[in-house]
Structure 1
Amino acid sequence: MICLNQHRCNGRGCLMKNRKVWVSLPARAWCSALSLLFVCSAAADEVGNVSSRGAVQEQGTASLAGIADAAERGEWTRIPQLLQSGCSVNAAQADGMTALHWAVMQNNLPQVSQLLQAGATVDAENSYGVRPLLLACEAGAGEIVERLLQSGAETSVRGAGGETLLMLAARAGHERAVLALLHAGVAPNGRDQKQQTALMWAAAEGHVVVVDRLLQGGADAAAATPAGWTAGLFAVREGRTEVLLRLLQAGMDVNAARTVGGQAKGPNPLLLAVQNGHFETAAAILDAGADPNAQPMGQGALHAVVAVRRPVRGDGDPPPVGSGRMSSLQFVRRLVQGGGDVNLRLRQGQSGFADFTTTGCTAFVLAAQTGDLALLELLLELKADPQIPNADGATAVQAAAGVGDLGSGLESAGSEAEAIQVVKRLQQLGLDLNAVDENGETAMHGAAYQNWPALIEYLDEQGLRPAVWNQPNRWGWTPLIIAHGYREGNFRPDAATIASLEQVMRRRGQAIPADPGKDVEANQQSWDRKVQSKGKQ
């Protein structure tokens, strides 16, 4: 199913909004389901009156829509009798459905031919403007499409959303119907109201043969929607590797990002494939010559793997469904062995009030942030440097410990137990647990942000110095102030975290303020003066 905001749907809600990417399967602006809903509703009324209507017809007084009623029920042997009794072959039901509509819907070619020979109007419209040829194209009924065209069916008819007959047939994936329409002169590059084409629809659905026929028929592989979506990008987003290879042969640029108005506004094929969990498709893109280190949206494919493996929990997006047999870890190995920089730093990431800055992060730091020990071990095997910090000087330690407020409704991708395991591994690698970044954030601040009392105890056991961590950060918050609820978004105190911090502070001889929050503004001013003083120097 496709929703009109151009996100992939599963019938329950949108799935791949890109992951900020996010992105857009061809929208079915016109849907025969609406008309079928009314048709079926009318059919139910008719069936409910079968016995009384049947009795009337046996008395020789057939209803005005008798032929259409019989066709709806599949009573085709009654059609000749009804015609002989004077019923019109074009008699319509209350919603405009004729016998020809029903014959097409039931994919009954012999009856379609008989009705046309009996004088059925080939372009009859029901009450919703739906013609038999439109139904045949949507169903991909190639032989019926050919028969209707032979009888003079109009080919310029469109759905309510402007979709062409060729678009409907292409989405159904029926080669014969597509060829019949092309031979009848239907334009291969016709667009609907969203400026999508038949080639885009066929590519998104993975209909390789239809894509071949459309390209042979003159379809433009470079055509794009106003949002920059091409047939190739639709194919990538849906993991249609075979279709993608066809489009690459047709001239698609393997490194071209989604472009709007001549400027890159979205991912390139490699990044898009990774963001949607299509690792086999991503590997094929690499094989086709893609730049493994490109960062069209400020991040590379290696960075994207981290979020795909372990997105934030709570109200965040779920991981993509993905496709193929290649795992994310297998793809990472393939990417780095194919020239990907294992220490590539994210060019443009998230940075803001109380955020953990992702700009400058390597995949190693991002994996530490999500508690992904398996990915960390692979990156180390591939010679990742665990010491590289982000743009604010935060190391993998602060990332693993939870520095950065996620906001209301979100939870860290990793659990507290996983965070402790990652911190232990980083210790083994020689990283300093007492590190402080340019925002004054420490590992203990991170544990307070994420409400992780067990991590607080572990950090204290490892000798974190109170003189280092019991200090206000850039926003005026000490770990205890954060635990009392002072953070971005809703006021969120956590009793267990407060108790753990106070216990550690007593143990280390630290004074516990009666009202931690009263010093926030003074702390902020002190921080600002310190920054100004450094600037003058």
Structure 2
Amino acid sequence: MIASLTFQQSQKLYGMTRIQFVFPAIVMGMVLTVAVSAADVQSSTTTTPSSDSRSLVDAVEAGRTDALDSLNEVSVKQRQPDGMTALHWAVRHGKSDWVTAIIDEGAEVDAVTDYSISPLAIACENGDATIAQILLSAGASPDLTIAGKVTCLMLAARGGDVDVIDTLLRQGADVNAKQRSGQTALMWAAAAGHADAIDRLIAGGANVNESLRSGFTPMMFACRNGHIEAAMRLLDHGVDISAAMEPKNTSGRNPRKGMTALMLAVESGHFDLALRLVGRGADPNDQSSEFAPLHALAWVRRPQVGDTPEGDPPPQIHGSVSSLEFAAKLIDAGADVNLKLRRGKAPGKARFNTRGATPFLMASQTCDLPYMQLLLDHGADPMITNHDDCTALMVAAGVGVHHVGEHPGTIDEVRQAVQWLVELGLDINHVDKNGETAMHGAAYRCFPEIVRLVAKLGADPEIWNHKNRHGWSPLTIAKGYRPGSFKPDPPTIQAVMEVGKITDEDAPTERGWQG
């Protein structure tokens, strides 16, 4: 049973991931446990025509000292209702002498249960190299697969059992065999963070650059899960630190095209690993995935909420480096604090265009004052606008909010960010290329308190009481003419009419933007 690959943490991940993007939930241990549990129940409740012939299986299952008293060529082939045999149970309990005795009596070494579990699979799951060798010497196939075409080598790799790995490789196990979704033993070892297992598998001929349709490689699995030593070991074996993911599908929680090991580590909250990657040559200003690390920190620290990939929870931060410490260290390592994004997704109606955005603009969009202050302290220019000439003040007020209540920023946080940006000298009456103003932003958020604050800070109704390029004024936005929610917000409607001294009859009929 192998869960499909996703990405989150996204990142946006995916998760990866913020998402969830993406480590596979490898649960073969659960399969084995299910087999054992089912046998526990069924062996105690199910009867067969010959209870004597089943006594060996039951005795071995129970681990009785007299278990082998009924050993004969018939009893060793008896199966419990779920397919478990005496050999399966002897392997499960790690009793190598019982395993040898049962095999000598003629047990089938490659017998599989109804769950496709073989004795060798159990030995590899348990990390028992001694029993694995006994089974292989008795003729067990090293490439016999279980459910999902999972090989015994994959089970051993996930457990990091180098002795079992060596045993399987000596017996000719296919080191590059793929399970149903294309994963290899090296991917399993990397995902679990077993550096020594990685060495053994690569020495045995494993392909370090094998890639899935999702774009995941062994290196990406290691970085997605924050395994520093595993990632460093893969780099030692020649993995390109700048290699980018090329997923066949980038929709939903799949990774973005161009994701690098560094960006995957950052968006997954593994800042210690990210700094190690920079130390090994990763570019802190790389934009191959459309974003650079300092930009990504904005949503890693403060993601949206909701059912979309952007609404996935923030990643759990592992290691000793906080997100702000990471940002400072990354800037010291050469990250450009005023780096403008070269590309950006088509923003759509009321969306914030990330093209031309700086880390400070992205942090302002989430009203993340601590991050904004850190960037300012390290030389960020708060006056830089995006490709649409949208300012940090405007996005803090709410320009770009397309789902009411799902974007970061409480009323107090938005208030503090807006006031601070005005104190820095940003123009409260700025109009961008889309005809948006800070007052439009406050209306998008449906925060009447921010509507009144923007007015108090000097927003001029003669400037903001106009339709933007989509045909919406702050009043019509408050009435529900906005993406994500078509419900009117009476408190915001009242606030806009109050501060603008306008009525419905005074609402603008002409667009107030040019171009």
Q: State TM-score, norm by structure 2.
A: 0.91
Equivalent residue number for residue 295 of structure 1: 287
How far apart, CA to CA, are the structure 2 residues paired with 1:467 and 1:249?
63
Of 500, 503, 507, 1:512 maps to 503
Give the match for residue 465 of structure 1: 460
Q: Secondary structure in 1 aligned to 2:53?
A: coil
SS at match of 1:125: coil
Deviation at 1:418, TM superposition (A): 0.8
Aligned to 2:120: 133
> Please, what is the CA RMSD of the aligned residues?
2.7
Deviates more, 1:345-354 or 1:320-329: 345-354
Shift in CA distance, 97/8, structure 1 to aligned 2, threshold 3 Å: farther
Give ranges in structure 1 of 5+ residues lacking alignment.
532-537
The reply to whether residue 445 of structure 1 matches residue 433 of structure 2 is no
Match of 1:68 among 54, 57, 62: 57
Aligned residue pair count? 503
Residues in 2 aligned to 1:265 and 1:404: alpha-carbon distance in whole angstroms: 24
Task: Report what 1:419 is aligned to.
Answer: 414
Q: Is the 8 A contact 1:39 1:95 kept in 2?
A: no
**Residues in 2 aligned to 1:247 and 1:135: alpha-carbon distance in whole angstroms:** 28
Aligned twin of 1:89:
76
Measured against aligned partners, the alpha-carbon deviations of 1:88-131 in whole angstroms (never above 9, x if no partner) come to 22211122210111111222323222322333221122223321
Partner-residue secondary structure (3-state), 1:437: coil
* 1:47 is aligned to 2:44: yes
Please list the CA deviations of residues 134-156 of structure 1 after superposition, one character each: whole Å capped at 9, or x if unmatched: 12112322221122112221112
Unaligned runs of 5+ in 2: 251-255
CA deviations over 1:453-498 (Å, ceiling 9, x no partner): 1111111111211101111111111111111111113312112212
Matched, 1:333 2:320: no
SS in 1 for 2:409: coil
Which moves more between the two structures, 102-111 or 435-444? 102-111
| Sequence identity (%) | 42
Counterpart position of 2:451: 456
Separation (CA, whole Å) in 2 of partners of 1:358 and 1:405: 13
C-alpha distance in 1, partners of 2:29/2:282? 40
How far apart are 1:340 and its partner, in Å?
A: 1.0
Match of 1:404? Answer: 400
Matching of residues 37-436 of structure 1 within 5 Å:
37=34, 39-48=36-45, 62-75=51-64, 77-83=65-71, 88-259=75-246, 265-315=257-307, 316-350=311-345, 351-407=347-403, 411-436=406-431
Question: What residue in structure 1 maps to residue 479 of structure 2?
Answer: 484
Mean Cα deviation higher: 39-48 or 322-331: 39-48
Letter in 1 for 2:222: A
Separation of aligned partners in 1, 2:20 and 2:285: 20
- Structure 1 length-normalised TM: 0.87
Distance of aligned partners of 1:215 and 1:35 in 2 relative to their CA distance in 1, 3 Å threshold: closer
SS at match of 2:415: helix
For residue 355 of structure 2, what is the amino acid of its counterpart?
A: T
Structure 1 residue 359, shift from structure 2 partner:
1.5
Q: How many Å apart are 1:47 and its aligned residue?
A: 2.5
Q: What amino acid maps onto 1:74 in structure 2?
A: G
Q: Which residue of 2 aligns with 1:4?
A: 4
Aligned-partner Cα distance in 1 for 2:21–2:457:
46
User: 1:374–1:195: structure 2 CA closer, same or farther, 3 Å change rule?
Assistant: same
Q: Which has the higher contact order (CA 8 A, sep 6+)?
A: 2
Task: For residue 382 of structure 1, report the CA deviation from its aligned partner.
Answer: 0.7
With over 3 angstroms needed to count, the CA separation of the structure-2 counterparts of 1:453 and 1:345, relative to structure 1, is same
SS of 1:284's partner is helix
Give how far 1:312 is off: 1.1
Compute the displacement of 1:2 (Å).
Answer: 6.2
> Whose radius of gyration is greater, 1 or 2?
1
1:7 CA drift (Å): 5.1
Contact 1:66 1:91 in 2 (8 A): no
